[in-house]
Amino acid sequence: MTKHRYSFFLGCVIPNRLPQIEAATRLVAPKLDIELVEMKGASCCPAPGVIKSFDKDTWLAIVARNIALAEENGLDILVLCNGCYGTLIAGVHDLKDPETRARVNKILKGTGHQIKGTVTTKHLAEVLYMDIGMEAIEETIIRPIEARCAIHVGCHLLKPSDIRPWGVVEDFTVVDELVELLGATSVDYKLKDMCCGAGGGLRSAVLDVSLDMAREKFEAMTQAKVDCLVNVCNFCHLQFDVGQVQVNKEFGTDYQIPVLYYTQLLGLAQGFTPKEMGLDRHYISVEPFLEKIGMSV
Amino acid sequence: MIDRRIINGSKIDSELADDMTKAGIDRIRSCIQCGTCTGACPSGRRTAMRTRQLIRKALLGFREEVLSDPDLWVCTTCGTCTERCPRKIDVTEAILYLRNLACQEGYMRPEHRAVSVKLIETGHAVPIDDEKWSKMREDLGLSPLPPTVHSYPKAVKEIQHIIKKTGFDKLINYKEGKEDDKT
Ligand code: SF4
Ligand code: SF4
C-alpha cells in the first residue's frame, strides 16, 4: 500500500487543551497508512473568527508562514479543526493571487520563510473519504460500534462552499457515512446543520449567545435519544463538551451527551481502549456511551 | 418606539461601500434588502442582530453607527448568509471587513484583545499557560510541549516579526512586558 503523507497542522486547541484528540489521531493514523509529518514551529492558524476579525493582513501573513512550513515539508496540510481548515484553505486561495503573494512575502522577509503556492489544505474528513477511501478504513475495523450518534459537521468544513471540495452545502453526508461505516447509526435531529455557536469570537467574548446556540442543539439531540455526539472539529468539540457543563450551569439543565471526535470513535472501532483514546479526559462523562457499546474506561 | 430620525449628511461616510467593494465584497451594492441573510442567521434568532440591517447601514454610510454596534460581534462567521444570499454577496466577509474597521476605531472587546496578546507573546491564541496541560499531554503519551511554536523559541520571534511589520501590536496597543498575563 502506498503511504499517505501529510504536513500535520495541530493549531492551538488540540495540542494545548484537547490533547486526547491529538493522541487518538496519532494512534489511528498508522493503521490507515497515514504518515503525519510535523510542521515544526507552526503557530496559531490564526483563528478566523478572532484574528481575521481584527486585522486581515496580520491574519494572512501568519497563515502564509504556516503554509510555507508545509511547503518546506513538500507535503499538503492535514487539519483536524474546522477553524484551522477555514483559515488555511482561505489562505491557500488568497495567496494564489501573485500580487497578494508578493505583498505577503515582503512581510515574511526576515522570518526565513517565503510562500510559493505549492501545497493545498485538506480536512481530516476529506483525507479519510477521498484519499484513504471507505474500503481501506473498513478493513481496519475489528469492533463495530452499535450506537445512535448525533453528527455535528460544523460550519467551516462546508462554507464558504466555493473554496471547498464537496460540491454541496446542504445534504452533506460524508461524516454520516464515515460514522455509519463503523457500525453506528447517524440519527437525524432538529437543527442538525446549525452552528455550534463557538466561532466568530463568541466563545471568548459573547458567551451567553454562544451557549444558547449549543443549548438548542443539546435539547434537539436529547429529544432524538442519541447515545453520543460525533464531531470533526475540536472547537465544536470544546463547545459541546466544556460548553455542555457551562450550559447546564447557566440554564439549569442536565444534558449528559457524551462528545466524541471522529478519530476517537474510529479508534474504538479499530480496537484501541477508551483510555488510549483519552475518553477518561472528557468533561461530560463518556461512561454511559461506553456502557451501551459494552465497554468501560 | 419608532426612532424618527433625520439623516445628518455630515455623519455619512459615502466611501464606505466603495471601500468594501474594493476590498473584495464586490457585489455589496447589489443588495436588494430581501432579508434572506437575517432569516438564515443563527445569531439573529436569539439576539437583536439583523444582518440585513448591518448591510443596509454600511451601504448608506452610517459608519460610526455600524462600527460601534456591539451586534457586529455576535456573528459566529458560520457563513450561512453568504451561501443563501440571492445576490451572491459575501455577507460574512462584509462583517469581517467591518470588524477590522471597528478595531481600527478602537472598538475591541477586552477578551479579544487578551487573545491577541497571547498570540503576540506565544504564537498561540490558546497557549499552554498552565502545567496541567503539559502533564495531560504526557499522561496521554505525547511530548509535554507540542512541536509548534511552543517547542521553537525562534518561531515565536518570527511571529513577532510579522506582527511588528503589519502593525498588529500598535493596533491593539500592545505594551511589551507590561501586559497582565492573567487576562
Ligand atoms: S441576503 Fe443578500 S441581498 Fe438579501 S438582504 Fe442579505 S445581503 Fe442583501
Ligand atoms: S455568518 Fe454571521 S451573520 Fe451570517 S448567518 Fe452566520 S452568524 Fe449570521
Q: Which three cell numbers stand for residue A146?
A: 452499535
How far is it, in rounded angstroms, from Cα A62 to Cα A173? 33
The rounded Å distance from CA B40 to ligand 1 centre is 10
Nearest C-alpha in A relative to B91:
A160
Nearest C-alpha in A relative to B163:
A58
- The predicted-structure confidence for B9-58, as pLDDT tens digits, reads as follows 668 898 999 999 999 999 999 999 999 999 999 999 999 999 999 999 99
Burial class (CB in 10 A: 0-12, 13-18, 19+), A87: buried
Burial class (CB in 10 A: 0-12, 13-18, 19+), B175: exposed
Length of chain A measured in residues = 297
In this predicted structure, what is the pLDDT of residue B106? 95
B 73-132 → A contacts, CB under 8 A: 73-80, 82-83, 90, 92, 96-97, 99-100, 103, 108-109, 111-112, 114-116, 119, 123-128
Q: In what order do the strands lie in the sheet with A228-231?
A: A185-186, A148-152, A228-231, A259-261
Our answer on whether the CB atom of B34 is closer than 6 Å to any ligand 1 atom is yes
Q: Tell me, what's the ipTM?
A: 0.94
Radius of gyration of chain A (CA): 19
pLDDT digits (tens), chain A, 297 positions: 579 999 999 999 999 999 999 999 999 999 999 999 999 999 999 999 999 999 999 999 999 999 999 999 999 999 999 999 999 999 999 999 999 999 999 999 999 999 999 999 999 999 999 999 999 999 999 999 999 999 999 999 999 999 999 999 989 999 999 999 999 999 999 999 999 999 999 999 999 999 999 999 999 999 999 999 999 999 999 999 999 999 999 999 999 999 999 999 999 999 999 999 999 999 999 999 999 999 988
- B74, B90, B171 ranked by CB distance to A206: nearest: B74
In 3D, which of A245, A256, A239 has the Cα closest to residue A204? A239
Q: Is A195 in contact with B78 (Cβ distance < 8 A)?
A: yes
In this predicted structure, what is the pLDDT of residue B9? 62
All domains of chain A in start order, with CATH? 4-124 (1.20.1050.140), 142-292 (3.40.50.11810)
Evaluate whether A281 touches A287 at the Cβ level (below 8 Å): no
| Backbone CA torsion sign across B126, B129, B134, B136 | negative
End-to-end CA distance of chain B: 39
CA distance B68 to chain A (A): 14
CA distance A52 to chain B (A): 7
3-class secondary structure, B150: helix
List chain B residues with pLDDT less than 70.
1-2, 5-10, 180-183
Length of chain B measured in residues = 183
Q: Where are the domains of chain B?
A: 9-104, 110-179
In this predicted structure, what is the pLDDT of residue B183? 44
Burial class (CB in 10 A: 0-12, 13-18, 19+), A236: buried
In this predicted structure, what is the pLDDT of residue B10? 63
In this predicted structure, what is the pLDDT of residue B178? 82
Task: Give the predicted TM-score (pTM) of the model.
Answer: 0.95
Domain B9-104 sits in CATH 3.40.109.10: no
In this predicted structure, what is the pLDDT of residue A70? 98
Our answer on whether the CB atom of B54 is closer than 6 Å to any ligand 2 atom is no
Please tell me if residue B162 touches chain A, with a CB cutoff of 8 Å: yes
In 3D, which of A57, A134, A114, A126 has the Cα closest to residue A89? A126
Among protein residues, the one whose CA lies closest to atom 8 of ligand 1: B31
3-state per-residue secondary structure call for chain A: CCCEEEEEECCCHHHHCCHHHHHHHHHHHHHHCEEEEECCCECCCCCCCCHHHHCHHHHHHHHHHHHHHHHHHCCCEEECCHHHHHHHHHHHHHCCCHHHHHHHHHHHCCCCCCCCCCCCEEEHHHHHHHHHCHHHHHHCCCCCCCCEEEEECCHHHHCCHHHCCCCCCCCCCHHHHHHHCCCCEECCCCCCCCCCCCCCCHHHHCHHHHHHHHHHHHHHHHHCCCCEEEECCHHHHHHHHHHHHHHHHHHCCCCCCCEEEHHHHHHHHCCCCCCCCCHHHCCCCCHHHHHHCCCCC
Nearest C-alpha in B relative to A215:
B46
- The predicted-structure confidence for A215-270, as pLDDT tens digits, reads as follows 999 999 999 999 999 999 999 999 999 999 999 999 999 999 999 999 999 999 99
